[in-house]
Chain A
């Protein structure tokens, strides 16, 4: 395992602390709790997207499709088959993984355009099935989804938030393990030069396919968490627009940077809350955001933050380590 820098550890600790404490203060306000839960779900989606684009050079335009598959599978299992929440979630995740694997099998071999197209197709097909099938409640959706119960008691919003947070951490940990492992190194080799990677014995397709299936499963988890928070699902929530939104989240933070994925998801996810009056322009802004970030800061909005932190660290070292350094020089002399 790669050694984690002290600075990264401090940042993760601060972020985690904020994620745990801030909702405690606002736990009375349902609106804020919903926003925080949604942000958690967006972090799952955005990080998954970031992993896919940044580390495998593949692109999915159908994340909302998997998000929808996850949501509908779990909801239908819970409501029609009386399956408890966790087994339903696991079933939904496995289904998303299998569909991702099946879809990725022909599409990850060639140019990234192919996976983009077949995933966009999946999204359209899922939309059609949801709106046309009676089983999924048609265009009017499914209402009255039961709340999640733990030890027989329904979860409060705050407890639900912490459950989402646990899933976010699991997803981020999996992303981290994928990136910093044999798979991650193989992926980096593929991204750098696919031909050279295959020449040294890396099965390029296998890794691309595996990551795509994992990413699809992550989108499924997000879908389940979304459905049981809102407790009302309809086709509207899983359109291609949602896929573009997820794409924005994965990109603007900085591709190939897990922190960038988190920051990008938070920024893109929180944007509509700040621009409440401009909800008409929401998709226009997302589109513009993708274009502008790629044009003017292809390393993402996390890059200036990295530079700022570098400077801060240098400053700290200058102030606190000055004496130590002079001691060392004296001893050496």
Chain B
């Protein structure tokens, strides 16, 4: 029982990481119908920039965090302006392939910039686990991640429901053409959506850095799994992203303890296949009926 509870705690922390990343995919897909495959690499760049500012340049953590966010947002906005937006005019399929190419490019190009070795990022509140009972403990960093996840989710939902920009984003997601006719600046909304998405990915990157080896390959599998979480929950649905992220985190934590830790990376894909068989539209997704 203790092992089980311990797994659940670890799973929730892992799920929080997937949730933040899944939301950063979902906000892009929900609003603009773009699946940015390079999101995991944006996460990785955020993480490495955080490491560079906080550890190498020994800046204040929050200054480093903000700098990392600003730079990653700029990187994604430049990519959007120069590459994604012109390609989107031809076809969304081409854009998806281009994001895959971009992911490959970013991953390998950043290896040339940051080097291929792994670094370790210091834990923010010490690495000594907090004992809840005698056998169940939680690493402070995991608490921070869960906290950051909750705050981000609340801020995002308030933003989407209460602010004018957030409402404009919802309008664009429902019908871009009608939204544009009602005076929503489509180009501006696109920029804001990309910025939010990149900011979330880099926040996740900096806060999860102590839990992983900081190197350029860390984004690849995490990004892919978070995309799977988003798809499982119902792609484009924010609540679905949270549900998908949490389920994936729990399944991975429990599966690697009870089934096999060597095949940890396989669980996400098996789960995806099961869900595609049973509910192709995702757990919370609604069936889309295409009008002619």
Residues of A within 8 A of B (CB): 53, 57, 59, 61, 103, 105-107, 109-114, 116-118, 120-122, 124-125, 128, 132, 195-196, 199, 240-241, 244, 247-248, 251, 280-281, 283-284, 286-291, 294-295, 298
Is the CB of B32 closer than 8 A to any CB of chain A? Answer: no
Task: Please tell me the size bucket of the interface on B.
Answer: 35 or more
Contact for A118 among B35, B221, B262, B273, CB less than 8 A: B273
Least CB distance from B46 to A in Å reads 19
B18-56 CB contacts (< 8 Å) to partner A: 35
Q: Is the interface of A mostly helix, strand, loop or mixed?
A: helix
Q: Is the CB of A281 within 8 A of B108?
A: yes
Q: Is the CB of B97 within 8 A of A294?
A: yes
Q: Is the CB of A298 within 8 A of B90?
A: yes
Q: Is the CB of A244 within 8 A of B100?
A: yes
Give the chain A neighbours of B209 by CB distance below 8 A: none
Q: For the complex, give the distance between the alpha carbons of A61 and B231 in Å.
A: 16
Question: Known pairs A132-B263, A248-B101. 16 more at Cβ < 8 A?
Answer: A59-B93, A110-B280, A113-B35, A117-B228, A117-B269, A118-B269, A121-B228, A125-B270, A132-B262, A241-B104, A280-B112, A281-B108, A284-B104, A287-B101, A290-B97, A291-B105
Q: For the complex, give the distance between the alpha carbons of A263 and B281 in Å.
A: 38
The contact sample of 28 A-B pairs, CB cut-off 8 A, is A59-B93, A59-B96, A106-B277, A106-B280, A112-B96, A114-B231, A117-B228, A118-B269, A120-B269, A125-B266, A128-B263, A128-B266, A195-B292, A244-B100, A244-B101, A283-B104, A283-B107, A286-B101, A286-B104, A287-B101, A287-B107, A289-B101, A290-B101, A290-B104, A291-B101, A294-B101, A295-B87, A298-B94
Nearest residue (CB) in B for A105 is B277
Quick one: given A59-B97, A113-B96, A251-B97, are A295 and B83 in contact (CB under 8 Å)? yes
Q: Is the CB of A117 within 8 A of B231?
A: yes
Q: For the complex, give the distance between the alpha carbons of A244 and B37 in Å.
A: 13
Q: For the complex, give the distance between the alpha carbons of A118 and B105 in Å.
A: 22
Q: Is the CB of A284 within 8 A of B269?
A: no
Most A CB within 10 A of own CB, among B228, B272, B290: B272
Q: Is the CB of B105 within 8 A of A116?
A: no
Quick one: given A57-B93, A125-B266, are A287 and B104 in contact (CB under 8 Å)? yes
Q: For the complex, give the distance between the alpha carbons of A281 and B104 in Å.
A: 11
Give the chain B neighbours of A59 by CB distance below 8 A: 93, 96-97
Contact for B280 among A109, A199, A248, CB less than 8 A: A109
Contact for A124 among B82, B90, B97, B269, CB less than 8 A: B269
Give the chain A neighbours of B107 by CB distance below 8 A: 283, 287
Most B CB within 10 A of own CB, among A53, A287, A291: A291
Q: Is the CB of A112 within 8 A of B231?
A: no
